[in-house]
Amino acid sequence: MTVTTYPDLERQSAEDVLAYAVERFHPRLYVACSFQKEASVIIDMLMRIEPQARLFTLDTGLLFPETYETWRALEERYGIEIDAYSGITPPDEAATIASRRWEHDQGACCAERKVARLKDALADVDAWVTGVRRDQGPTRAGTAKLHWDDRHGLFKVNPLADWSERDVWSYIVRHDIPYNPLHDRGYASIGCMPCTSPGTERDGRWPGSDRTECGLHG
């Protein structure tokens, strides 16, 4: 896909940004679901706009049981099926887990389990949607609501870019949406089990290392 012009959506609400994305790109629009609180909000909004919208997740095989439960709960609540792009092919899984690669080479582990799978997911669409918020940390502070994603060669839509954590919780409570119960146990950000601890915003990701992003967004 080649870059074409696109509007400045910075003054638009999250619902309006999503509606624009659906109108312009669906069905070549793919919505990423991390099963963190932001994903709960986006799924709820999206299903009100376009019940046939397409959703996917990157299943690294190392997610928390609570994350898998949230995945099932959201599918059940909205009557949807979320496509899964899995971390590693089964014959390699045992060997990779035995090597505990995340302990000695997190870059390679994320590249294999996440970044390569995202590339697969985005191979045949024109835009993707994420739950990235500017408040989540310095690497995300400049996030636009709609922009051309050079890294993946398609448009990237971030409807919640200007939302605070409070905005997210307020929406979840108001609409009584299923959410990942780990948030109630002090995990503000939730990724793979070996690399996630309780903490505010993204402080609990890769604790004890300089790593702040897995390569999907920065």
Footprint on this chain of ligand SF4 (rule: CB under 6 A): 60, 62, 102, 106, 109-110, 113-114, 191-192, 194-195, 214
What are the beta bridge partners of residue 85?
58
* Minimum distance of ligand SF4 from residue 60's CB (angstroms): 5
* Minimum distance of ligand SF4 from residue 197's CB (angstroms): 12
Tell me whether residue 29 or residue 192 sits nearer to ligand SF4 (CB atom). 192
Q: Is 33 a catalytic residue?
A: no
Q: CB atoms < 10 A from the CB of 2, how many?
A: 5
Sheet-wide strand order for 29-32: 83-86, 54-59, 29-32, 127-129, 154-157, 146-149
Query: CA–CA separation, 122 vs 120, rounded Å?
Result: 6
Tracing tokens 């903490």 back to the chain, one arrives at 199
Tell me whether residue 118 or residue 122 sits nearer to ligand SF4 (CB atom). 118
Tell me whether residue 16 or residue 213 sits nearer to ligand SF4 (CB atom). 213
Distance of CA 164 to the CA centre of its chain: 16
Which of 64, 76, 107, 34 shows the shortest CA–CA distance to 193? Answer: 64
* Minimum distance of ligand SF4 from residue 53's CB (angstroms): 26
- Catalytic residue (one of 109, 192, 195, 214): 214
Which of 217, 187, 215 shows the shortest CA–CA distance to 200? Answer: 187
* Minimum distance of ligand SF4 from residue 125's CB (angstroms): 22
3-state secondary structure of 174: helix
Tell me whether residue 113 or residue 156 sits nearer to ligand SF4 (CB atom). 113
- Enumerate the active-site residues: 214
